[in-house]
Structure 1
Amino acid sequence: MASRGSSIYKGSDLIHEYSCSKCEENDLNTEAQHFCPECEHYLCDKCVGIHGDYFKKHVVYGRDDIQKWAEFSMDRCAQHGKELEVHCDDHQELCCCVCVALNHRLCSSISHLPDLARGFHCTSEFKQLPAAVEKMRIRLDELKNDRLKEQASLNDSYKNSIAEIKALRKEINQILDKLEKRTVENLESIMEDLEKSIKDDLATFTRMHDQLGAMIEQFKQFTDKNKESSSYIGFTKCQSKLSEANSLVREIRGKKGMKFKCDESGLLFLRNLNSFGNVESVRKTDSYHVFKAQSSSLYKVKKKKDKQNCSIEGIFELPSGKVVIADYNNDKVKLLNKQFEVIGYCHLPAPQHLCHITDNDIAVAVSEFNTNEVHLLTVTKGKIKAMRKFTTDHLCCTIAHHQGQLYVGSNNALYLYTMDGSLIKTIYEDNTSMHTVYKCVVSPDGERIFVTHFTASRLLTLDTSGQVLSTVEDPDLQSPSGLCVSPSGHVFVCGFESNALVQVDQEGRKVSTVARLADGVLYPRSVWFKEQNSTLIVGNLGDNIHVVKLC
């Protein structure tokens, strides 16, 4: 075998993985140790020196970078660097002479490339290749840009998760503060009772001590004067007072102090926790899953005492599975069980919209005449109870909650409030017509706010600063009313006059029309998506809610 870099005549059967291009011109067969991508030449140790004298600025790759050698030549074998000469029909591969010698000796059909290529450049397949490649390059650029956005979004998701963890910690601290306050208040109440008991006992001791002293003095006087009857009376009364004093002493000795006993169940629960929650990697593509109506059912939500036809302006599901609806016409917030039967209600004047806060707590937007309020309610033992409320200087027509803050819409503007009713800022405003901010929801990550423009039949997607990111207009979104967003980002919008339910993605782009009039959708006002069983609960302008099973 020839030593490395040695030259022999080309006619030799010795096959190199890569042969020196310059040596081949002189009918020599020399193994290449270098590659120049600009010249597209493979070079042996001798020829690379000559090449370097002529082309000092050319970058030459050695054997350490052999993976880069075949990347620069279209008509050379990617594995061996030789010129591609034939096509193996059995394996559907382009081959060089080395490929044939090593891997395709036993193949039954090998075609010469010039024969296969004759006239191919005139075919439509050949002519369409540049356009197909350009289309793919554009798609790759789009995916690249999407990935870059996802990279930025990933950092935002991390920051949002940190914020949620800190918010959870803050909420836990508040709960612990309340528990501590209640425990201390209980302790102080017991302390106050015990201190009063001690003060009463001290007063009783003093009185009893003084009475015994006075009685024994009189008893001595009777004894000194030999008054038998008086002495007997004194003796009897002293004995009675002594008996009373003995009873008091025994009673006092039986009294106890205070001792705090910890509720071990709370400590055990906290000790068994590994973290505040689970961190999951969520695929964005999940939010683009396309749903279609499969079947539907109607459930009556009008009660005998309701004087008007129902108008369900808001709807959502509690963690327990119960459903809460806002019946505008009948001035009620109603509670439904899992079978969608009305099991309780709370009177509120003209509830315009409602949203879920945490656990069993609800926020309701109320506007009627000069009354503009946000009511905070809670569900306890199947009953809806009022907690507190605050007033605003504007209409309250829609409401949404995210991480301890309330988004309140006034028909023409969207405001951000704290839970105690302090105005933080105005997010968005549009006074070009009526109902420009009709209903709103906030995406799970808090980065997007979806707003229906009822008059112009548009769905707007805003960022947290109020900038319009996208606008959707669609024949199935005529007079869009209620909308909802699920924890995984599925967004559904009611087309009130088009009698349709439309699904959009997290960027506010239409995905599909989920249900139409043919599926039983009639003047939808509000909607909620039950993610566990892929079901839409639709509030209509009527006495029934419409439950649509999706597939």
Structure 2
Amino acid sequence: MAAGGSSIYKGSDLIHDYSCSKCEENYLNTEAQHFCSGCEHYLCDKCVNLHNGYHNKHTVYGRGDIQKWVGFSLDRCDVHGDKLTVHCDDHQELCCSVCVALNHRQCYSISHLPDLAKGILKTAEYKQLSGTVDSIRGRLDELGNAMMIDQASLKDSHKNIIAKIKSFRYKINKILDRLEKKTVEQLDGLVEDLEKTIKYDLESCLNMNDQLKTIMEKLQQTTGKHKDTKSYIWFRKCQNKLNEVKSRMQEIQKMPIELIRFDSDESILPFLSNLNNFGNVDNGHSVPVRSAAHMYKALGSTNYSVRMEEEKTCCIVGICELPSGEVVIADQANNRVKLLNNQYQVTDHSDLPRYLHDLCLTADDVIAVAVDDRHYIYKYNKHEIHFLSVTRGKIATLRMFTTHMDCRSIAHNQGQLYISSGNALKKFTVGGIPVKTIYEDMSCKGTVVKCAVSPDGKVIYVTNNTKRELITLNEFGQVLFKFKDPELQRLSGLCVSPSGLMFVCGRKSNTVLQMDRDGRLKLATVARKAYGLCVPWSVYFSEQTSSLIIGNYRQDQIIVVKLC
């Protein structure tokens, strides 16, 4: 090590473990005795006095804290603290002289960093780095949001199980206090362990996000004579960190979601005195992979008129989008299906019997329309499903079939039609053959009105307008969850996007809510009266434009709400 404070011209062969950054700018080679973590500069005794006069609040470490110098330095080896000078092409690693001596003597290709750094700032890969980091950070945010939802779900499960325990406990007598205490302790212990796991993964995501943010901030602040070289070093470190983050994200996403359940053992009643607890509390995995939740917020809205000449006031009861970006709407007031172009202008229409209640996309260019007309005086019922094709901006009638049930809503999934009648949900083939009744509630009118199906067909959503509930069913019609919310009054429109995003309207509350995929948690209220909602009746989420398309009751405009 050279004597502290000695300065010679840069061209000298004298090598310091750390050289003064400010002296280097003046072509002097001076050994550093101090390091500023704020400036990330190495400083000699002379330069540190000048530095402290300008930056008296910065933290400066001396030689006694030299272990803290490593890791702050842009151009220093994280392992040995020496200056990074070469790149091992065989191992794809940034190396100092010690790295080369210890680990890379047999390597075939060693490149000098200044040679590799030439032109790095102009390369497409370097210019795209900021966007790549932003994308990964966005995915980390989404993954964090998903884990926070899992955390809330875990707490809900905990509350529900406590309620089940209490209910089961009520059936027996006070001598079971000891058993109840043991069962609750078992549950709380399991919840605590699971929460620790989720908290660890969440903190890991937040930490990785902060690290990427810090790297990009340091990269953007890189200045000085050796900007290219320093930028290349940060670029390589950022790439390494991205690989580490991606690997960690894959590990987290492959982890099963931890849920808990409680199965009461009814057979214990005759044998209470011989048992240790009420039942078994453990964690059940709901799905093998955690899916990040995309939560949206509104940026603004625009109204588009869809009323044609000599028409009555419109009432848009159904909306869907074609792969071309064209939009198809069902206007109940005028008994018309209308085709809108990408600017939401009416370009064609098809007249149908009254009354239109809903429509859905069944294939790339085929629309199924639910038509239902009941006349109590003349005593006739008309329950029909009409199929229309859209080709080159024109709507054409294909065929239709009749049903023996009311047709209030229609959805399509994997070649099957799901039709709700107001009290039941039934599955049909696209040819009109009944398959089965999935769900039925005859307790009163309006128990099964609107319906929608998840992309994989495993989850079905229906609205109970009488009880003002969103109901989630499995594919066999079993009720999984029921959801109520003050911001969801008098449910109306319902939609599920091709990627599984789920939205539901409240026509009295003038809101559109984004729900999680289970239909049990509200992720966000994405549209309100302030955006023009006035008795919203239908809704569709366009993934092509990241927009909600909403039809109000008896209004001539559709509302397009831009989301982010």
TM-aligned CA deviation for residue 150 of structure 1: 9.6
Amino acid at match of 2:391: T
Q: Is contact 2:257-2:286 (8 Å) kept? A: no
Q: Out of 307, 314, 322, which is 2:326 matched to?
A: 322
CA distance in 2, matches of 1:531, 1:420: 29
Q: 2:336 is matched with which residue? A: 332
Q: Out of 290, 299, 306, which is 2:295 matched to?
A: 290
Pairing 1:181-330 to 2, within 5 Å after superposition:
284-286=290-292, 288-306=293-311, 308-330=312-334
- Cα deviation, 1:135-192, whole Å, max 9, x if unaligned, reads 64142578653599997745xxxxxxxxxxxxxxxxxxxxxxxxxxxxxxxxxxxxxx
Structure 1 residues 150, 361: closer, same or farther in 2, change over 3 A?
Answer: farther
SS in 1 for 2:359: strand
Amino acid at match of 1:301: V
Q: Is contact 2:384-2:402 (8 Å) kept? A: yes
Amino acid at match of 2:509: S
Q: 1:365 is matched with which residue? A: 370
Amino acid at match of 2:423: N
Identity %: 48
Structure 1 residues 514, 387: closer, same or farther in 2, change over 3 A?
Answer: same
Amino acid at match of 1:544: Q
CA distance in 2, matches of 1:459, 1:387: 34
2:559 is aligned with 1:546: yes
CA distance in 2, matches of 1:139, 1:536: 35
Q: Is contact 1:302-1:309 (8 Å) kept? A: yes
Q: Is contact 1:332-1:350 (8 Å) kept? A: no
CA distance in 2, matches of 1:522, 1:396: 25
Q: Is contact 2:194-2:258 (8 Å) kept? A: no
CA distance in 2, matches of 1:330, 1:150: 51
Q: 1:44 is matched with which residue? A: none
- Cα deviation, 1:499-528, whole Å, max 9, x if unaligned, reads 000010111122121111122222111111
Q: Out of 526, 533, 537, which is 1:514 matched to?
A: 526
Q: Is contact 2:257-2:287 (8 Å) kept? A: no
CA distance in 2, matches of 1:340, 1:461: 32
Q: 2:483 is matched with which residue? A: 472
Pairing 1:101-500 to 2, within 5 Å after superposition:
136-140=192-196, 145-146=258-259, 153=287, 284-286=290-292, 288-306=293-311, 308-348=312-352, 349-369=354-374, 370-500=381-511
Q: 1:120 is matched with which residue? A: none
Q: 1:523 is matched with which residue? A: 535
TM-aligned CA deviation for residue 305 of structure 1: 2.6
Amino acid at match of 1:333: V
Amino acid at match of 1:326: A
TM-aligned CA deviation for residue 421 of structure 1: 0.6
CA RMSD of the aligned region, Å? 2.7
CA distance in 2, matches of 1:337, 1:511: 31
Q: Is contact 1:438-1:452 (8 Å) kept? A: yes
CA distance in 2, matches of 1:487, 1:401: 11
SS in 1 for 2:544: helix
CA distance in 2, matches of 1:302, 1:150: 52
SS in 2 for 1:478: coil
TM-aligned CA deviation for residue 363 of structure 1: 0.6
TM-aligned CA deviation for residue 478 of structure 1: 0.5
SS in 1 for 2:530: helix
- Cα deviation, 1:484-507, whole Å, max 9, x if unaligned, reads 111221101011100000010111
Q: 2:94 is matched with which residue? A: none
CA distance in 2, matches of 1:144, 1:458: 26
SS in 1 for 2:313: coil
Consecutive unaligned residues in structure 2, runs of 5 or more: 1-64, 69-187, 199-255, 261-281, 375-380
Pairing 1:65-76 to 2, within 5 Å after superposition:
none
The TM-score with structure 2 as length reference comes to: 0.49
Q: 2:549 is matched with which residue? A: 537
CA distance in 2, matches of 1:325, 1:284: 35
Q: Is contact 2:508-2:535 (8 Å) kept? A: yes
Structure 1 residues 144, 388: closer, same or farther in 2, change over 3 A?
Answer: closer
Consecutive unaligned residues in structure 1, runs of 5 or more: 1-88, 93-131, 155-282
CA distance in 1, matches of 2:454, 2:468: 21
Q: 2:151 is matched with which residue? A: none
Q: Is contact 1:470-1:508 (8 Å) kept? A: yes
SS in 1 for 2:363: coil
Q: Is contact 1:449-1:463 (8 Å) kept? A: yes
Amino acid at match of 1:414: L
Q: Is contact 1:395-1:409 (8 Å) kept? A: yes
Q: Is contact 2:488-2:505 (8 Å) kept? A: yes
Structure 1 residues 528, 144: closer, same or farther in 2, change over 3 A?
Answer: closer
CA distance in 1, matches of 2:404, 2:283: 39
SS in 2 for 1:357: strand
